[in-house]
Chain A
């Protein structure tokens, strides 16, 4: 049953490249839009996360 279904789905292999391309395009553009709409203050907060805590054993930066 399952394999019959899959067979039906993939019988039309010609659509594969088109489907992949559209899928990729949608995901990519969606992500870009999302990223570009992020707020500056938030970006700065995120970027600073690794620098939040000083190492106890750090003797170089004082």
Chain B
């Protein structure tokens, strides 16, 4: 039927745009990563400036790598593979362009706002509410463009990669919206709607599934498309890929609470997280084996082709990370590894290995084809592969070592029953050589990326860009109708709308089971009568703590182990956090836990320590915060903050916002006086006063004598 064949063009321009953005932001994000890695043993590299200090730069690194490097790579791969799998160009070039420029604008606003200290402090969701809204809008535009393309397709059945893309779009939208419920104070500041334990649960439901549905499912879609392409053979088992898909999206969503083991989260929720994490091994390894077995009998090709080499290591890293994750959710393992550098090693196996290497593999395959030429230098690509692999090993092995060492040192008791390392700093200084090795590993990896960038640019220069690629296929109506009924999965494969609904249901079930009881059952967060809302000055101090990213080095969660109660004091109770909007439990202890810091030191100690940490803790690696002493506390928003907090449920009296400023000044004067008594002259309107008030309040409610 030659008369009913459509001809059309695939848009390669948008693919190229996202590819360039991914590489550029990859280099930026990793360079910032290298800076943070260096700051961890050379505090001078914080440069004494608020804009370059660790607590503000670390989220810049994570956001750049996740949303700019990986994000743009996802879009690159989707805009390339989806039209070809559906035999239809993207529905709207205009929407593709809005998506591209919108996403880059969001990245830019993140790059500006994070160093300015505008942050919600929730990991991977740090951006403030106006940016959150922009993300939602752009994401929906992407979703519409994608879905309309699916509806206009010329291939009746949706290939498994497309399912992964659909699940990604839907789930990321749900996660982003639910985790971003916040009440604005003004354009640049908001408070999470949730508090304490509930906020923690929502955040890690989000955080865990962001890993699943931003760093994993779209990349699995890419794997299921580009691996067969690069190997020029179909995936090993299409059946297995279906099982992989459904099992993964159904199980993943339940496992979030494994980030909160031994926390103040109720036990049943913790156990749920562990059980489902273990079950996750099955689909993940199914997927890995499916990828690797695709290459059976073609290993000679792998030896020659850098594209396949990158992909093989990427898929292996996926397998390693998804085996390790469930192991880390076993309570006994978690007791040692949580809050340590082990976590950092774990995420970098995923980020450098799985996401990084798959991206490079795809780029080395894609760029020559879009430019109608061969790769500029296979040798250079091989060099990139080896330097990258070496860099990865140099990164993760020292971090595993450091993590294990930290976990053990924190728990080590002497024969007399005292802590072997009562001074936390000692345990930090022990692992400094590992931090140095890690920075070397990171530099190697980055060097590889730069070689790759050069190689790809040279490839592009040597060819001619094919902006539009001709293709043809008969329209769906002209194709033979599929027989009615038949097997269920064939049925769903040709019904994108039903498919979308079914996968949404699959991901919602786990989320609902986790959250509903947490929000409706009072007994899950037993209230404690002594726990009172923060004073206005403490609220301001807490916001400084959030702004400076103290949470990236300090936890506020004493776990119920003797090694922790001995070191920090009484373990943390769920009821202590009921006014914490947002929660500040943290995920990594580079410094000691601070939940029981209140009353531990005199005010003057904190003053000196914040000005120059080494003055109080010789050899400290904490960055100095001298600007807190010079800068005046901004109290213009104090009343608005009290009103916003009242809205999210903190029981301040009805018109308390009008009185808040006066109370703030009274308390500030008292702190200033106490500092004066200890020989330190500082005006009561400086930021440091608020921070000290907050630190001295922390964790004292259940123990009034500490005040």
> Which residues from chain A sit less than 8 Å from chain B, CB to CB?
3, 6-7, 9-11, 13, 16-17, 19-20, 23-24, 27-28, 31-32, 34-39, 42-53, 55-61
Contacts and interface: CB of A to CB of B under 8 A. Distances in A.
B247 A31 contact: yes
Contact of A55 (B268, B463, B469): B469
B155 A55 contact: no
B239 A38 contact: yes
B371 A49 contact: no
Nearest to A27: B250
A35 B243 contact: yes
Interface stretch (B144-152, B228-236, B412-420, B667-675): B228-236
A46 B247 CA distance: 19
Contact of B81 (A32, A34, A44, A50): A50
Given A34-B487, A46-B238, A48-B234, A28 B160 contact: no
A58 B369 contact: yes
Interface in B444-474: 463, 466, 469-471
Contacts of A44: 234, 238
B159 interface: yes
- Ranked nearest first, the 8 interchain pairs of A and B with the lowest CB-CB distance are A57-B372, A47-B234, A47-B238, A49-B159, A6-B520, A55-B369, A10-B517, A57-B369
Contacts of A49: 85, 155, 157, 159
Contacts of B370: 57
B238 A43 contact: yes
Given A7-B521, A47-B235, A59 B487 contact: no
A29 to B, nearest CB: 12
26 contacts: A7-B521, A10-B516, A10-B517, A13-B521, A27-B246, A31-B246, A34-B487, A34-B488, A35-B242, A35-B489, A36-B239, A38-B489, A38-B490, A44-B238, A45-B157, A47-B234, A50-B81, A50-B159, A50-B161, A50-B228, A51-B233, A55-B469, A56-B466, A57-B463, A57-B469, A59-B368
A60 B489 CA distance: 36
Interface of B: 81, 84-85, 87, 155, 157, 159-161, 224-225, 228-229, 232-235, 238-239, 242-243, 246-247, 250-251, 254, 268, 271-272, 279, 368-374, 463, 466, 469-471, 487-490, 493, 506, 509, 513, 516-517, 520-521
Contacts of B159: 46, 49-50
A53 B521 contact: no
Chain B contact surface mostly: helix
B229 A50 contact: yes
Contacts, number: 121
A51 B142 CA distance: 25
B521 A10 contact: yes
B374 A60 contact: yes
Contact of A34 (B235, B272, B489): B489
Contacts of B160: 46
Pick from B250, B254, B463 the residue with the most CB of A within 10 Å: B250
A23 B508 CA distance: 13
A20 B510 CA distance: 9
A3 B520 contact: yes
A45 B234 CA distance: 10
A61 B232 contact: yes
Contacts of B489: 34-35, 38
Contacts of B371: 57
A55 B229 CA distance: 10
Contact of A37 (B470, B487, B509): B487
B374 A56 contact: no
A10 B239 CA distance: 37
A53 to B, nearest CB: 6
Contact of B232 (A46, A51, A53): A51
Contacts of B513: 16, 19-20
Contacts of B271: 17
Given A46-B157, A46-B159, A56-B466, 20 more contacts: A3-B520, A7-B521, A10-B516, A13-B517, A16-B268, A24-B279, A27-B250, A36-B239, A37-B488, A39-B490, A42-B490, A43-B239, A46-B493, A50-B85, A50-B159, A50-B225, A51-B232, A53-B84, A56-B469, A56-B470
A53 B86 CA distance: 11
Contacts of A57: 368-373, 463, 466, 469
B234 A56 contact: no
A25 B479 CA distance: 38
A33 to B, nearest CB: 9
B228 A59 contact: no
B68 to A, nearest CB: 27
A7 B271 CA distance: 21
Pick from B228, B369, B471, B513 the residue with the most CB of A within 10 Å: B369
B379 to A, nearest CB: 16
B516 A13 contact: no
B487 A39 contact: yes
A48 B238 CA distance: 10
Contacts of A48: 234
A9 to B, nearest CB: 8
Contacts of B516: 6, 9-10
A1 B235 CA distance: 51
B487 A10 contact: no
A23 B509 CA distance: 10
Contacts of A19: 513
Given A46-B238, A49-B159, A53-B471, A32 B243 contact: yes
A4 to B, nearest CB: 9
Contact of B247 (A28, A39, A52, A58): A28
Contacts of B85: 49-50
Contacts of B247: 28, 31
Nearest to A56: B469
B364 to A, nearest CB: 12
Contacts of B81: 50
Contacts of B228: 47, 50-51
B372 A59 contact: yes
Contacts of B225: 50
A34 B521 CA distance: 38
A27 B249 CA distance: 12
